């Protein structure tokens, strides 16, 4: 794949809690220079200035997911009001590892219904903590609840980030009906290309500039 094709799949991401307003402004400027799809920042950093044609993404229930659904919903609604085009929510991972997919679905639906229909919802499943059957169950719950994407990881969990196996399984489960975002630990162009080959349709990256520099125009 060419550089521009990969750039069009990237959520250029800065979610470190110590990131300053100046850091976020630099991220936006770099994203515009790189020609990526989106920027993803913490909700307290919204609204963003000078985004041009960039998609603005943020997170909710981040990074643990262990937050009441109504709190996640309020956070997502406020983010949408502050200019977010996309919200990446973290599921309550405890419900997934307990195989309570009805609870997973209800959590996601509560957030989905709190936002305008045009705001895209991505569901972070922390795939490294789940069995294959649980990954499938969570992806199916996300689809039933009206999400537009499933996403591998926050990048903050000690169990790890994206894996090729998880991305393949997620892509097979949603069958093109939802997007698949690979995020967490993708640091090289080879990593990014492998994730796309496995079925990722969006990439959450903090090393976007270095990765794109290694791709052909």
Residue 117 confidence (pLDDT): 97
Residue 108 and residue 142 in contact, taking contact as beta carbons nearer than 8 Å: yes
Does residue 181 have an active-site annotation? Answer: yes
Q: Confidence band (pLDDT; 50, 70, 90) for 216? A: confident
Second-level CATH architecture of 3-213: Alpha-Beta Barrel (3.20)
Q: What is the mean pLDDT of the chain?
A: 97
Active-site residue (options: 11, 88, 92, 191): 88
What CA–CA distance (Å, rounded) separates 89 from 25? 23
Residue 163 confidence (pLDDT): 98
Residue 217 has pLDDT above 90, yes or no: no
What are 185-214's pLDDT values in tens digits? 999 999 999 999 999 999 999 999 999 999
Q: Which has the closest alpha carbon to 119: 94, 151, 82?
A: 82
Mean pLDDT for 27-36 is 98
Q: Which has the closest alpha carbon to 155: 195, 123, 191, 128?
A: 128
Residue 174 has pLDDT above 90, yes or no: yes
What are 133-155's pLDDT values in tens digits? 999 999 999 999 999 999 999 99
Does residue 68 have an active-site annotation? Answer: no
- Angle between helix axes 189-198 and 164-174 (nearest 10 degrees) is 30
Confidence (pTM): 0.97
Residue 45 has pLDDT above 90, yes or no: yes
Q: Where do the domains of the chain lie? A: 3-213
What are 68-123's pLDDT values in tens digits? 999 999 999 999 999 999 999 999 999 999 999 999 999 999 999 999 999 999 99
């Amino acid at each position: 794949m060419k550089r521009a094709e990969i750039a069009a799949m990237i959520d250029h991401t800065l979610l470190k809690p110590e990131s300053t307003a100046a850091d976020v402004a630099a991220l936006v400027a770099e994203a515009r220079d790189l020609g990526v799809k989106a920027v993803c920042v913490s909700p307290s950093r919204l609204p963003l200035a000078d985004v041009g044609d960039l998609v603005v993404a943020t997170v909710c229930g981040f990074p643990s997911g262990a937050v009441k659904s109504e709190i996640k919903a309020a956070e997502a609604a406020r983010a949408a009001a502050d200019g977010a085009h996309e919200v990446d929510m973290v599921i309550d991972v405890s419900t997934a590892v307990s195989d309570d997919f009805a609870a997973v679905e209800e959590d996601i639906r509560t957030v989905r219904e709190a936002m305008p229909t045009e705001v895209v919802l991505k569901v972070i499943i922390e795939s490294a903590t789940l069995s294959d059957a649980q990954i499938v169950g969570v992806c199916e719950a996300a689809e039933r609840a009206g999400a537009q994407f499933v996403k591998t990881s926050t990048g903050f969990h000690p169990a790890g980030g994206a894996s090729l196996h998880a991305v393949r399984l997620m892509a097979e489960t949603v069958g093109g009906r939802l997007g698949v975002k690979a995020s967490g630990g993708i640091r090289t162009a080879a990593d990014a290309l492998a994730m796309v080959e496995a079925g990722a349709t969006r990439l959450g990256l903090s090393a976007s500039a270095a990765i794109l520099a290694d791709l052909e125009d």
